[in-house]
Amino acid sequence: MEDKDLQKMKVCNFEDLDGPKSKEELEEMKAPFEEYCKKVFDVGNEFVKPDALKGIRWMSTTMYIFTPHSVTNLAELGAECIKVEMPRMGDPMRHTSPFNECYLYPLHDTRPMSGTGLGFVNANSNEYYITLDYHVPESKPVFYNLVKMSDGLTECYRHGTFDRWKQGYRHIMEVNPRFIYVWGGGFGYGPKIFGGSYDILGQAHAGLASVTGTHEDFGGHATKASNWCIDWYSGSQITTAILAALYWRNKTGLGTMIEFSQVQAATRCLGYTVPLYGRFGIVRQRWGNWDTQLCVHGIIMTGKSDYPDEPNPQLKYEARYVMVSAFQDADFKALCDIIKKPDLFSRYKTHKERVGAPAQIEIYKAIEDWAADKSRSEVVRILKTEGLLAAPVMNDKEVYESEHYRLRGTVRWNDDPLFGDVLIQSAYSCGLMSRTPRKHKWLWRPVGADNVKIYHELLGYPMSKIEEFYAKGII
Amino acid sequence: MAKERKEIEINSRADTLPLMGPDVRPWPVTPPPSPEECMKVYEKRKAGEFGKFLEDNLRLEYRFDKPEALQGIRVMAMGKWRMCNKFASGLLSELGAELINVEPPEGDPLRELTPFGREEYMLKDKFGTPCGMDFLHELRNAYSITLDIEKPEGREIYRNLAMQMDILIEEYPPGFMDSLGLGYRHLAKLNPKLIYCWVGERGQWGPMKDEVSKYGQWMLDPFGMCACSWVHNTGFPPDQCPRGGKGGDPMRSGVWLADYVAGEQAANSCLAALYWRDCLGNGLGQFIECTAAETLMDILDFDITWYGFNKSIKARTGAWDPNLNQYEWNPCKDGYMMIGGQTDRLWYRIGMCIERDLPIFGRLIHEDPLLKEMAARNALQALIKTYTVTTKWLRDINRIEAEQKLMEYEIAAGPVLYIDEVAEFPHFKYRPWVNTIEDEQYGTVLYAESTNAYQHRTPARVKWLGRPLGYDNGEIYKRYLGFGPMKLRELKDKGVI
Amino acid sequence: MCDIIWCKKEKDGKVCDTVNYLDPYCFWNWEGKIACAECGTVYYIHMIQGHMYEGPDEKAGEKPDIYPLYADKPNDGYSNYLPGIEGRTRPYTCLPRHIYLGKADMVKFSARGRPVRGWRPQPPSAGVAGSHGYFWDIEKLSPEVWAEYLERLAKGEVKDW
């Protein structure tokens, strides 16, 4: 048969057919799932893979955590991000540190005794740091030169401030119609437009605090998440909006303005709280460490810490809480047998019966009574041996030492270019991506550390001009 | 107008049910502020023109007049029980992606969850089937289809659907889909453009990966919160409230927060992958994994970094923040009042406001040399001192009074509000951030508005909430696979859908 | 007085003049006896919703139930008693370490023993307009820390984790 006759009969390419076609591919399909995951995510080799947002340049005229985090997400995904700060002072977040104990130096050469506090960690990773004082008229052309070179900006000034300074959305769009402009703040247009906001305000004002913590009938108070969760979590939702806007811009060539209110974001995560109130007027209350919809599914206290001899009080006294979950019938029955309270199961056979409030109080008390003479690890071991779900409430040391996070690369050491040996928990932990993984490059840089890089190398200002700007306090 | 008086008798919870509801007591109870009143607020700061610009271009009411950013993107969500899958896919569908939510024929068990097991607080669809409010609130703009992937025919259907998707978000236990031949490595062969995202609590691989109990129970939030030191960090110290269920224990978030955080990062990862695939011309999908424990750990401030710095283990500090002063809430006459202001400018303004009523504040706080430097004010003793004297002021006033007083000094302050107060807070009503939708199935539902709904060009929108189980089998199976009613009937009989 | 107890007790011809701070979450609703951090005078107090319902009444010779977390002397240059001084203030139970500083911890080496720039002052090293490169030349800028690092390295005190 002639080759061309054979060609005529051909209906598809061999390469297009399903199934393993090489030894390598065969191995990949045969590999146990865990091995396969390890191989595709290839933890530790992120830098040989491309950046998802290659070519995007974003300006971060932000402070604190909330709006900066919307940009960090982009920077971790490979966008080039430029953080703009007030000359010599920097972001106020640089001046926060737990109990005033932890700083990395220097903040800026002119302030040798000041460092940047750990409060600044993770909120502005991988970015370039420049300074610019918008109050000075000469800053305006500099700002606009940057706008022309960028894809978007996130700002957090009091609403209308940038507009008053003639660098708001309306002005920028006339210079760069592809620009995506983000304002992030507490409230947005409306009666409280000028109200300032913080993470804690979101937690308090939007209902989250009212449902977090122990109920006052048990002696508890509305509890603040000690982490600035609403700041971070709201910032990530801005990133969602930015990424969608970038995608749409790719089709249409048009930028947009996003107005994002973090106080609203705290209400958004309340689940059934809102519709339950709307339909039945029920005002959801706090329910401590238990779950309003599942039982058993809560955190219990055991009798003993796992590290009674450690000097650190967090280990010595606090390593004694366990998450226990056995809400399905068979699990609950097994749990009742383990704690030697089979009568509990006979009284609360169905989930509907045991999830009621009085039942929960009785059931958790029985579990805690059983655990009263045991340590945290004993309780976890016993429950897990019987095939139930249980886990210790882990602390920072245990997270650091966890083999799990180490293998997955979500807690790792970074040799920071300016600050040295820094442990990081961010970026990689936002999600593993097989082709375009997030990357952590540097934690932060001193105030204005990239002034020459951006103003001279990117915008073309002569060095003498930069020195003049610096001397005048414009940068 | 005279108020109508009704004779009512309440003997049980059931008697209270007809007393509420959108028909009896519509939301909002009092009308929101008018745009004219807001204009006055804008004018006061000479921002009238700017305020009008915002109102004309960003108002929520205009969202349906604008295009959708993710129009044409197809998302399939495959999961049960948890929020992360729903929140992730919901963020995308609010922005215009078409979302297909796949459930087993018996339905997602989350449909059946209701606080304290109270079935009277579930909403019935037009077929009379009750649905729990968490499920209802979080499943947004989704088509609901049923499919049993444990049957070979179901697997085939699943593969054929996945071939047509841009994004697949899946949250079954580790390796489960892979064991059925439906994992990323199998589906990517059929659809190399597929962006496949697994979401879960701790991981689908690794020594602490998600577990399933011996009896088949899944691992749900707050396992994620516990695994990343979030719970350890939250709550009141036993010194301020006693331990053992009396307020002084480490504390989970009242909501399944870790799931929400994982959900948003899953959405972000998917969108970044989409950008790389389409806008940078790479044409390939990828495998993504987002977990509740790790995405929450990402936002644990500096905590793990701190351990690496000097082996500090972050401890819980109640309602006080250990990094900023002032930045806390403390009890007042009728609840808790939050006050924030850390820079010198704000800190002294708070002080001036308090000192006006409580002169001793100046002597004890303002004059103390230890409290004059911003960073030094974060020391523990500085917090104790500042907050004790602040509370001395707060105990005599209620939340509204405190807020008004502090607002005069332009301080970011706000009361801890309960949901009824949130829903009636003027700004919330004006935006509105809690909003009502007249749902085809469930009637008028109050819901938390999409956070991305305030945009000039492509705002997010909530089109419907919840969905009866398998409601869209007819449309979706016809549109994607060409199945007509006879075929669906056959599949139903076989238990495949 | 309430929320704070400004102790004016005279002892040995000297007025105590110390402010004891009754932190709100502990004392919002509280009944019992508290000792002054300076002079040890015991006061009975009964607080309801942050208000002093009864007291402070001096209870000479009785044992206290509790100490304040913090106390200071505004008329003596704000000299103070930090939390956790035995017999004066009660310990704050949720500290991140067994020691408490309340001021910047000068750290030169990370938890695994490698150099980290956690101490001050740092020698000036910025270029034009405060700009920095991408390389911490520790050997040049802080030779003593570099030398100490090499020493630690030789002793095997530097770990991977």
Most C CBs within 10 Å, among B329, B377, B380, to test the C interface? B380
Q: Do A57-268+421-471 and A297-401 agree at the fold level?
A: no
The pair phi, psi for residue B17, each rounded to 5°, is: -60, -45
Most A CBs within 10 Å, among C120, C125, C158, C159, to test the A interface? C120
Cβ-contact B313, B307 below 8 angstroms: yes
How would you classify the pairing of strands B123-124 and B130-131?
antiparallel
Residue B143 DSSP class: E
Least confident range of A20-29, A326-335, B126-135, B401-410: A20-29
| Contact across the interface for C49 and B331, Cβ inside 8 Å | yes
- B317 contacts chain C (CB < 8 A): yes
Window 156-215 of A: residues touching C by CB (8 A cutoff) are: none
Window 75-94 of A: residues touching C by CB (8 A cutoff) are: 88
Q: How confident is the model at residue A17 (pLDDT cuts 50, 70, 90)?
A: low
Q: Which amino acid is at B423?
A: A
In 3D, which of B429, B116, B422, B447 has the Cα closest to residue A276?
B447
Residue among C25, C50, C80 whose CB faces B318 most closely: C25
- C3 contacts chain B (CB < 8 A): yes
**Domain end: B14, B40, B65, which one?**
B65
Q: What is the pLDDT of residues B318-369, one digit of tens each?
A: 999 988 899 999 999 999 999 999 889 999 999 999 999 999 999 999 999 9
Residue A423's alpha-carbon distances to A121, A396, A469, B271, in angstroms, are 10, 12, 36, 28
The pLDDT, as a whole number, for residue C1 is: 43
Nearest CA distance, A443 vs chain C (angstrom): 12
Same domain, B276 and B389: no
A141 CB neighbour count, 10 Å cutoff: 10
The pLDDT, as a whole number, for residue A7 is: 83
Chains that touch A (3 or more CB pairs under 8 A): B, C
Q: Establish whether the linkage from the previous residue to B28 is cis, with ω within 30° of 0.
A: yes
Distance CA B97, CA A8 (A): 42
Cβ-contact B166, B100 below 8 angstroms: no
Most C CBs within 10 Å, among A94, A99, A309, to test the C interface? A99
CATH class of A297-401: alpha beta
Report chain A residues whose CB lies below 8 A from the CB of C127. Answer: 452
**For residue B4, is pLDDT > 80?**
no
| Contact across the interface for B364 and C80, Cβ inside 8 Å | no
| Contact across the interface for B240 and C25, Cβ inside 8 Å | yes
Same domain, B190 and B53: no
Residue among A77, A260, A293 whose CB faces B451 most closely: A260
Q: How confident is the model at residue B239 (pLDDT cuts 50, 70, 90)?
A: confident
Cβ-contact A388, A331 below 8 angstroms: yes
Of all residues in chain A, the percent with pLDDT exceeding 90 is: 90
Same domain, B341 and B464: no
Q: Where are the domains of chain A?
A: 57-268+421-471, 297-401
CA angle A92–A93–A98, rounded 5-degree value: 130
- A106 contacts chain C (CB < 8 A): yes
Distance CA A263, CA A191 (A): 14
The pLDDT, as a whole number, for residue B400 is: 93
Residue among C112, C128, C130 whose CB faces A446 most closely: C130
Window 12-41 of C: residues touching A by CB (8 A cutoff) are: 25
Most A CBs within 10 Å, among C27, C117, C146, to test the A interface? C117
Q: How many domains does chain B have?
A: 3
Same domain, B39 and B90: no
Is B205 part of any domain? yes
**For residue A107, is pLDDT > 70?**
yes
Of all residues in chain A, the percent with pLDDT exceeding 70 is: 99
| Contact across the interface for C100 and B318, Cβ inside 8 Å | no
Window 241-280 of B: residues touching C by CB (8 A cutoff) are: 241
* Average pLDDT over chain A, rounded to an integer: 95
A203 CB neighbour count, 10 Å cutoff: 30
Most C CBs within 10 Å, among A94, A103, A401, to test the C interface? A103
> Six-digit token pair at C156?
């095997």
Is B319 part of any domain? no
The pLDDT, as a whole number, for residue A11 is: 78
| Contact across the interface for B331 and C91, Cβ inside 8 Å | no
Report chain B residues whose CB lies below 8 A from the CB of C28. Answer: 331, 391
**For residue B221, is pLDDT > 80?**
yes
Residue among B215, B375, B452 whose CB faces A334 most closely: B215
* Average pLDDT over chain B, rounded to an integer: 95
Nearest CA distance, B489 vs chain A (angstrom): 31
Cβ-contact C17, C7 below 8 angstroms: yes
Distance CA A386, CA A189 (A): 56
The pair phi, psi for residue A325, each rounded to 5°, is: -135, 120
Residue among A36, A65, A431 whose CB faces B288 most closely: A431
Is B335 part of any domain? yes
Cβ-contact A63, A184 below 8 angstroms: no
B122 CB neighbour count, 10 Å cutoff: 21
**Domain end: B371, B395, B417, which one?**
B417
- Residue A217 burial (CB < 10 Å; 0-12/13-18/19+)? exposed
Distance CA A454, CA A425 (A): 28
Report chain B residues whose CB lies below 8 A from the CB of C70. Answer: 381, 384-385
**For residue A21, is pLDDT > 90?**
no
Q: Establish whether the linkage from the previous residue to C96 is cis, with ω within 30° of 0.
A: no
Strand partners, B123: B131
The pLDDT, as a whole number, for residue A422 is: 98
For chains A and B, count residue pairs whose Cβ atoms are closer than 8 Å. 692
Is B441 part of any domain? no
Helix (H, G, I), strand (E, B) or coil at B37: helix
Distance CA C92, CA C69 (A): 7
* Dihedral (CA of C12, C14, C15, C19) sign: negative
Residue B398's CATH number: 3.30.1540.10
Was domain A57-268+421-471 assigned CATH 3.40.50.920?
A: no
Nearest CA distance, B6 vs chain C (angstrom): 36
For the residues A143-171, what does the mean pLDDT come to? Answer: 96
Same domain, B453 and B342: no
For chains A and C, count residue pairs whose Cβ atoms are closer than 8 Å. 144
> Six-digit token pair at A266?
């705290």
Residue among A163, A259, A394 whose CB faces B232 most closely: A394
| Contact across the interface for C96 and B394, Cβ inside 8 Å | no
Helix (H, G, I), strand (E, B) or coil at C74: helix
Residue among C3, C92, C103 whose CB faces B237 most closely: C92
* Dihedral (CA of A313, A314, A315, A318) sign: positive
Least confident range of A4-18, B33-47, B73-87, B382-396: A4-18
> Six-digit token pair at B110?
């989350």
Same domain, B401 and B369: yes
Q: Which amino acid is at B10?
A: I
Domain that holds residue B132: 74-299+447-493
> Six-digit token pair at B432?
């509105």
Residue C82's alpha-carbon distances to B238, B491, C86, C111, in angstroms, are 19, 73, 10, 27
Same domain, B340 and B476: no
DSSP, residue by residue, B286-309: -EEEEEHHHHHHHTSTTHHHHHHH
| Contact across the interface for C105 and B310, Cβ inside 8 Å | yes
Distance CA B170, CA A267 (A): 26
Cβ-contact A264, B449 below 8 angstroms: yes
For the residues A44-59, what does the mean pLDDT come to? Answer: 98
Q: How confident is the model at residue A9 (pLDDT cuts 50, 70, 90)?
A: confident
The pair phi, psi for residue A80, each rounded to 5°, is: -90, 115
Q: Which amino acid is at A127?
A: E
Residue B375 DSSP class: T
Residue among B229, B321, B430 whose CB faces A190 most closely: B430
| Contact across the interface for A227 and B301, Cβ inside 8 Å | yes
The pLDDT, as a whole number, for residue A3 is: 84
Q: What is the pLDDT of residues A328-383, one digit of tens each?
A: 999 999 999 999 999 999 999 999 999 999 999 999 999 999 999 999 999 999 99
Same domain, B30 and B78: no
The pLDDT, as a whole number, for residue B5 is: 73
Distance CA A242, CA B485 (A): 41
Distance CA A400, CA A425 (A): 9
B371 CB neighbour count, 10 Å cutoff: 21
**For residue C2, is pLDDT > 60?**
no
Most B CBs within 10 Å, among A239, A432, A442, A443, to test the B interface? A432
Cβ-contact A79, A61 below 8 angstroms: no
Window 354-413 of A: residues touching C by CB (8 A cutoff) are: 400-401, 406, 413
How would you classify the pairing of strands C79-81 and C70-73?
antiparallel
For chains B and C, count residue pairs whose Cβ atoms are closer than 8 Å. 113
Q: Where are the domains of chain C?
A: 4-81, 107-155
The pLDDT, as a whole number, for residue A10 is: 80
Q: How confident is the model at residue A18 (pLDDT cuts 50, 70, 90)?
A: low
The pLDDT, as a whole number, for residue A294 is: 98
> Six-digit token pair at B415?
């009361």
Alpha helices, DSSP H, located in B17-151:
35-44, 48-58, 84-94, 133-138
Q: How confident is the model at residue B3 (pLDDT cuts 50, 70, 90)?
A: low
Measured between CA atoms, the residue of chain A closest to residue B331 is A221
Same domain, B85 and B178: yes
Most B CBs within 10 Å, among A293, A325, A348, A402, to test the B interface? A293
| Contact across the interface for A102 and C107, Cβ inside 8 Å | yes
DSSP, residue by residue, B416-469: ---HHHHHH-HHHHHTTSEEEEEETTTEEEEEEPPTT--BSS-------B---T
ipTM of the complex: 0.96
| Contact across the interface for A33 and B233, Cβ inside 8 Å | no
Q: Which residues of B26-38 are buried (b: 16+ CB within 10 A; e: fewer)?
A: ebbeeebbebeeb
Q: What is the pLDDT of residues B315-330, one digit of tens each?
A: 999 999 988 899 999 9
Of all residues in chain B, the percent with pLDDT exceeding 90 is: 91
Q: What is the pLDDT of residues A186-224, one digit of tens each?
A: 999 999 999 888 899 999 999 999 999 999 999 899 999
Same domain, B228 and B268: yes
The pLDDT, as a whole number, for residue A20 is: 65
- Residue A457 burial (CB < 10 Å; 0-12/13-18/19+)? exposed
Residue B113 DSSP class: -
Chains that touch B (3 or more CB pairs under 8 A): A, C
Q: What is the pLDDT of residues B48-77, one digit of tens each?
A: 999 999 999 999 999 999 999 999 999 999
In 3D, which of B332, C54, B89 has the Cα closest to residue A221?
B332
Report chain B residues whose CB lies below 8 A from the CB of A351. Answer: 117
The full 3-state SS of chain A, as one line of letters, equals CCHHHHHHHCCCCHHHCCCCCCHHHHHHHHCCHHHHHHHHHCCCCHHHCCCCCCCCEEEEECCCCHHHHHHHHHHHCCCEEEEEECCCCCCHHHHCCHHHCCEECCCCCCCCCCCEEHHHCCCCCCCEEEECCCCCCCHHHHHHHHHHCCCEEEECCCCCHHHHCCCCHHHHHHHCCCCEEEEEECCCCCCCCCCCCCHHHHHHHCCCHHHCCCCHHHCCCCCCCCCCHHHHHHHHHHHHHHHHHHHHHHHHCCCEEEEEEHHHHHHHCCCCHHHHHHHHCCCCCCCCCCCCCCCCEEEEECCECCCCCCCCHHHHCCCCEEEEECCCHHHHHHHHHHCCCHHHHHHCCCHHHHCCHHHHHHHHHHHHHHHCCCEHHHHHHHHHHCCCEEEECCCHHHHHHCHHHHHHCCCEEEEECCCEEEEECCCHHHCEECCCCCCCCCCCCCCCCCHHHHHHHHCCCCHHHHHHHHHCCCC
The pLDDT, as a whole number, for residue B435 is: 96
In 3D, which of A72, A91, A69, A94 has the Cα closest to residue A81?
A72
In 3D, which of A272, A314, A298, A274 has the Cα closest to residue A214?
A298
Task: Provide the whole-model pTM.
Answer: 0.95
Report chain C residues whose CB lies below 8 A from the CB of B365. Answer: none
| Contact across the interface for C131 and A105, Cβ inside 8 Å | no
The gap from C-alpha A36 to its chain's centroid, in whole angstroms, comes to 27
The pLDDT, as a whole number, for residue B157 is: 97
Is B479 part of any domain? yes
